[in-house]
Amino acid sequence: MKNVIITGATSGIGRELAIQLSEKGYKVGLIGRRVDRLEEIKEEIGELAFIKPLDVTDFEKAESVYKELIKEMGGLDIMILNAGVGRDSRKLTWGSDKQTVDVNVTAFAHGMNVAFQYFLDEKKSGQIVGMSSIASTLASGRAAAYTASKHFISNYMTGFRQKANRMGVDITITDIKPGFIHTEMTENNKGMFWVASVEKATKQMIRGIEAKKNHVYITKRWRLIAWVAKSVPQFVWDRLRF
């Protein structure tokens, strides 16, 4: 039986990961801001679920909560850093951009460091999963902070993968890059295509996690978009309106 901690576990991908992983026999430590939803998931999953309410941007509290949860579960094998926000930044408000950076960049980096240090100190092995996005390969005038934050997540994970290799430790870093997935966060978005259900998307994510892949595109066809994004010259992107 493996122990997994999931941040942002109260809805969408995080909640579905908790359900599907518990059905496979994993112990799941669930972190989120909404206590009522955490309690609902705990009731649904049962004894395999351990819950801790937390705002991941409260960094001093976050470290102690992670450690408490690891102790209660009896150890940690996989950390899934799923907490994230997305905001339409066309209005260019600092408040919304700051929240995106606080959650998607700073809180992610903090969780990554806590997990990596735990695996390094306790067992010289483990797996850290980051919820990036196909948006990490793009830049968008409508979501500048969001796309930049996802690019940070991917590059940060690449750096930690190189660090683990250099140190000779068996710590897997898995970068999950979803395209459009039907969740509460995306239900009002217009113009989405190749939209996957959260159930299907999560099932593919778990396959990638269990295979210890470095990169997982969800669904697989989004790898084509990533290839196109890397091939198109910057001056072309600068003329697009999206």
Q: Where are the alpha helices (DSSP H) in 94-197?
A: 94-100, 108-122, 144-167
Which of helix, strand or coil describes residue 11?
A: coil
Q: Residue 241 corresponds to which amino acid?
A: R
Report residue 77 as tokens: 């094998």
CB atoms within 10 A of CB 88: 12
Q: In what order do the strands lie in the sheet with 49-53?
A: 49-53, 27-32, 3-7, 78-81, 125-131, 170-178, 215-218
Q: Say which of 26, 66, 146, 217 is annotated catalytic.
A: 146
Give the CA dihedral 137, 142, 148, 154, nearest 10 degrees.
-40
Active-site residue flag, 146: yes
Report residue 193 as tokens: 């295509």
In this structure, are strands 3-7 and 181-182 parallel, antiparallel, or unpaired? unpaired
The catalytic site residues sit at 146
